[in-house]
Amino acid sequence: MDLLAEAPTEEEITVAISDQIDTLQERAADLKDSFEQTRHETSEQVKTHISQAKADVAARQDAAKDKVEQAADRTQSQWQAMKADAAAKMHDFQDRIDRKRDEHDAKMAAQDADEAADEAANALDYAMWAIDQAQLAVLYAVDARTRADTLAAEVPAQS
């Protein structure tokens, strides 16, 4: 069995990684646009955006889950635990906000807004950390592919 023949080419890997980076860049731009738009909308309009965003996140999570299941043997348990922890924290935060949203006390609403801003800042910090980790992973992947290609080129062809 020739394992080198089954491995994706450097070009295929580069295209896949480039596509992921493009998608990440588009999502970041969408986040900024959404933020700018919702700053000038009513609470009901923002709630509609939240509902749509939750549906979009669920769809992306389902798609990601499918990809993870297909590549389960390559998935690192630490990364999975970190994603699950982040998802659980976000779920708890969303539940807390949903429970408190119906309260009309101005002081509580202000505290909720401060907590929401803190959670958003934490999520953005996490996203930046994730991008840093993705950058390192991409560089390691390119390095590993380059090394594999170099070693494969050094091995004489077997007939």
What would the pLDDT profile of 6-54 be if each residue is shown by its tens digit?
A: 556 667 766 777 888 888 888 888 888 888 888 888 878 888 888 888 8
Instruction: Classify residue 80: in a domain, yes or no.
Output: yes
Backbone angles phi, psi at 2, to 5 degrees: -95, 100
More confident residue, 25 or 73: 25
Q: Is 119 inside any structural domain?
A: yes
Q: What pLDDT is attached to residue 102?
A: 63
pTM for the model stands at 0.51
Tally of domains within the chain: 2
Q: Is residue 34 part of a domain?
A: no
Give ∠ CA 57-58-63 in degrees, rounded to 5: 95
Confidence of residue 1 (pLDDT cuts 50, 70, 90): very low
pLDDT of the residue at 2 = 43
* 89 plus 53 within the same structural domain: no
Residue type, 56: D
- Please state, in angstroms and rounded to a whole number, the distance separating the CA atoms of residues 66 and 109: 38
Q: In the predicted model, is pLDDT for residue 75 greater than 60?
A: no
Q: Do both 121 and 69 map to the same domain?
A: no
Q: Which of 27, 56, 73 is the last residue of a domain?
A: 73
Indicate whether 57 and 92 sit together in one domain.
no
Say if 27 falls within a structural domain. Answer: no
Is residue 146 within 8 A of residue 10, CB to CB? The reply is yes
* Residue 69 structural domain: 42-73
Select from 22, 20, 46 the least CA-distant residue to 34. 46
Q: Please identify which residue in the block is written with the tokens 């924290």.
A: 89
User: Among residues 113, 119, 90, 91, which one has the least CA distance to residue 101?
Assistant: 113
Say yes or no to pLDDT of 103 above 60. no
Q: What is the pLDDT of residue 157?
A: 64
104 and 142 both lie in a single domain: yes
Q: Give the pLDDT confidence score for residue 3 in this predicted structure.
A: 43
Which of the listed residues 18, 53, 73 is the one where a domain comes to its end? 73
